[in-house]
């Protein structure tokens, strides 16, 4: 029901907007306030909570992790152009992961925007392009609630991703339009099923293929049951790959059919999939390459079919056939056409998963990342959510971890540094029922270090594991790949993260012994903690 204050006969723009946010379950506000935002935030309604980050990049990163882990859109409040600019690096990750965020930035009063007064956000709708699915600054105060309604639906419908709304701060106390109450009951439903003829043809192609393969993408995690995907793959008895540049895990990584994460180069992908005459890509672009490796997209004799709910990903693919549909519905339709079961065969359980190899030891007083990941695997609950931002240790991570639950893996989708620590906070806020471990390299940690303060203020039981090798390890690997020796600025030695964490209110330990690491990891955290580990240098592959 609408609420009225100060004797007004109609609610204000601010009141209606808060009602709308509450209607959509967006009662957590991630922000770092400035003067333009104060009229919106003053007297936050009951039932809302404000999560303060000390830098806007951290704010967006926390909201990104929260929205991904909760499966619901998150609300972000930033300060004008400068605050938006500070959050843009983190926004690149949310754009690629298509994370549903509604971002509100405070604008100067309407009369001051045209003369470019201090803190005016000129051309506000262009600022976040092309990282947002929509961007608006309402032409009238009365249109603000409708603009927010559109942003919410833009963020969660088929386009899915961050939506941006700039609002002059003198709009909030204006009366809302009389018709805005209709916004509170609106729903937008997206339903996309494959046609029966298409499903039948694809099922026939799979039956006829001599060596089909599945490539599963990040969009599946949390949207298509992992058990359904396991049952489908086992029924087909096919090689299962994860798509390149993976940021969520759709399939158990120790499953005997799992062949790993595809490398992110054209020639390498082609080589990995050689021998597969039919490649079905589910829930991923085709493909998100990284390192430049020219070559044929697929080996001769291979054919690719992409099933995605992202029209843009389907349109820009340089090869293959694309089908746009709801992912869960498409997998269910295809499984039914083939007669595949919905759940895995219990009789296969004893032989379903492969054992992890013995981790290679560290050297010269340093732990190997393999040892660290093995220790995490052996001590943490099976459904632990890992937020990972340590690119140079990717190969060691996938070798040693055993992840079998949805929502077990989060990685910066665009490679924008500063995701790990803030996203760890966001995931912990969204999933208090699960253990959260953020594994972050020492180079990456500096980009989002102030997230430790938020974790301390909220007493979130996150374990922050800092892998300190004193250098940007992934860049060293790339320098070799690109044949660019003697590049400056690759070393970051002697950073004391334990002291930094202490200053933010997070207790920390500098751990050099594997037994001590295992002992600390067996303890149940009752608040945030940081473990600084000196590690050997490794490469992503």
Q: Which of 15, 24, 31, 37 is catalytic?
A: 37
449 φ, ψ (degrees, to nearest 5): -65, -30
Nearest to 471 by CA among 508, 441, 439, 501: 441
Q: What are phi and psi of 258, to 5 degrees?
A: -80, 125
Active-site pick, 34, 57, 61, 65: 34
Asked if 96 and 414 touch (Cβ cutoff 8 Å), the reply is yes
Q: Are 69 and 426 in contact (CB under 8 A)?
A: yes
Tokens, residue 32: 């770092």
**Dihedral of the CA atoms 359, 361, 365, 366 (nearest 10)?**
-40
For residue 185, the 8-state DSSP code is G
Residue 293 is among the residues annotated as catalytic for this protein? no
Active-site residue, from 181, 290, 405, 510: 290
Active site residue 34: yes
* Residue 290: active-site member: yes
Confirm whether 415 is a catalytic residue: yes
CA gap 375, 301 in Å, rounded: 43
Query: Helix 451-458 and helix 56-70: axis angle, to 10°?
Result: 60
Query: To the nearest 10°, the Cα dihedral for 46, 49, 50, 51?
Result: 170
Residue 77 is given by DSSP the state E
Please tell me which residue in 222, 260, 320, 415 is annotated as part of the active site: 415
Rounded Cα distance, 460 and 451, in Å: 11
- Which of 35, 111, 129, 179 is catalytic? The answer is 35
134 backbone dihedrals φ, ψ, rounded to 5°: -155, 155
Q: Which of 56, 234, 371, 399 is catalytic?
A: 56
- Among this protein's residues, is 37 annotated catalytic? yes
User: Which 8-state DSSP code applies to residue 491?
Assistant: B
Nearest C-alpha neighbor of 149 from the set 50, 10, 21: 21
Cross-strand partners of 436 = 385, 462
Please provide the distance, in angstroms rounded to a whole number, between the alpha carbons at the two ends of the chain.
57
Of the residues 15, 55, 65, 79, only one is catalytic, namely 79
How many CA atoms does the CB half-sphere of 455 hold within 13 Å? 38
202 CB-near residues (< 8 Å, 6+ apart): 194, 280, 305, 323, 334, 337
d(CA 53, CA 357): 40
CA distance 406 to 424: 16
C-alpha distances out from residue 156 to 90, 132, 153, 367, 461, Å:
19, 12, 5, 43, 29
Which residues have C-beta within 8 Å of that of residue 433, sequence separation ≥ 6? none
What amino acid positions are annotated as catalytic residues?
A: 34-35, 37, 56, 79, 290, 415
């Amino acid at each position: 029901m609408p609420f009225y204050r100060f004797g007004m006969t109609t609610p204000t723009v601010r009141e209606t907007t808060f009602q709308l946010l509450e209607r959509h379950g967006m009662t957590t506000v991630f922000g770092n306030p400035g003067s333009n935002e104060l009229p919106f935030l003053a007297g936050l309604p009951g039932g809302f909570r404000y999560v303060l980050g000390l830098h806007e990049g951290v704010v967006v990163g926390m909201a990104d992790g929260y929205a991904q882990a909760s499966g619901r859109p998150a609300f972000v409040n930033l300060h004008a152009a400068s605050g938006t600019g500070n959050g843009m690096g983190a926004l690149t990750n949310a754009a690629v992961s298509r994370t549903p965020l509604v971002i509100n930035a405070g604008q100067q009063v309407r009369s001051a925007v045209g003369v470019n007064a201090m803190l005016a956000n000129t051309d506000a709708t262009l600022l976040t392009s092309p990282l947002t699915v929509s961007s608006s600054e309402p032409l009238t105060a009365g249109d603000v609630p409708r603009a927010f309604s559109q942003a919410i639906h833009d963020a969660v419908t088929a386009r899915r991703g961050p939506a941006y709304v700039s609002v002059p701060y003198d709009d909030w106390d204006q009366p809302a339009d009389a018709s805005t109450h209709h916004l509170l009951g609106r729903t937008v439903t997206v339903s996309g099923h494959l046609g029966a003829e298409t499903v039948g043809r694809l099922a026939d192609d799979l039956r006829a293929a001599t060596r089909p393969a599945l490539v599963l993408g990040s969009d599946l995690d949390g949207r298509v049951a992992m058990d359904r995907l396991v049952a489908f793959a086992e029924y087909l008895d096919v090689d299962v790959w994860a798509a390149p540049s993976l940021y969520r895990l759709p399939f158990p990584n120790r499953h005997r059919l799992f062949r790993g994460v595809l490398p992110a180069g054209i020639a390498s992908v082609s080589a990995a999939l050689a021998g597969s005459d039919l490649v079905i890509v589910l829930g991923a672009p085709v493909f998100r390459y990284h390192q430049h490796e020219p070559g044929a997209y697929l080996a001769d004799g291979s054919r690719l079919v992409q099933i995605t709910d992202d029209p843009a990903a389907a349109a820009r693919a340089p090869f293959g056939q694309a089908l746009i549909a709801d992912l869960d519905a498409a997998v269910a339709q295809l499984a039914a056409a083939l007669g595949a079961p919905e759940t895995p065969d219990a009789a296969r359980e004893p032989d379903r998963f492969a054992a992890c190899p013995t981790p290679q030891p560290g050297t010269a007083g340093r732990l190997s990342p393999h040892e660290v990941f093995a220790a995490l695997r052996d001590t943490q609950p099976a459904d632990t959510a890992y937020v990972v931002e340590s690119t140079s240790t990717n190969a060691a991570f996938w070798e040693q971890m055993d992840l079998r639950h949805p929502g077990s893996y989060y990685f910066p989708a665009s490679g924008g540094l500063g995701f790990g620590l803030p996203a760890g906070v966001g995931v912990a806020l969204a999933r208090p029922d699960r253990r959260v471990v953020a594994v972050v390299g020492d180079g990456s940690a500096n980009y989002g270090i102030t997230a430790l303060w938020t974790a301390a203020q909220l007493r979130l039981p996150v374990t922050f594991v800092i892998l300190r090798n004193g250098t940007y390890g992934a860049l060293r690997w790339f320098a070799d790949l690109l044949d660019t020796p003697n590049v400056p600025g690759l070393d970051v030695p002697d950073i004391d993260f334990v002291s930094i964490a202490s200053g933010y209110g997070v207790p920390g330990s500098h751990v050099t012994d594997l037994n001590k690491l295992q002992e600390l990891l067996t303890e149940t955290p009752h608040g945030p903690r940081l473990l600084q580990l000196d590690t050997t240098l490794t490469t992503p592959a």
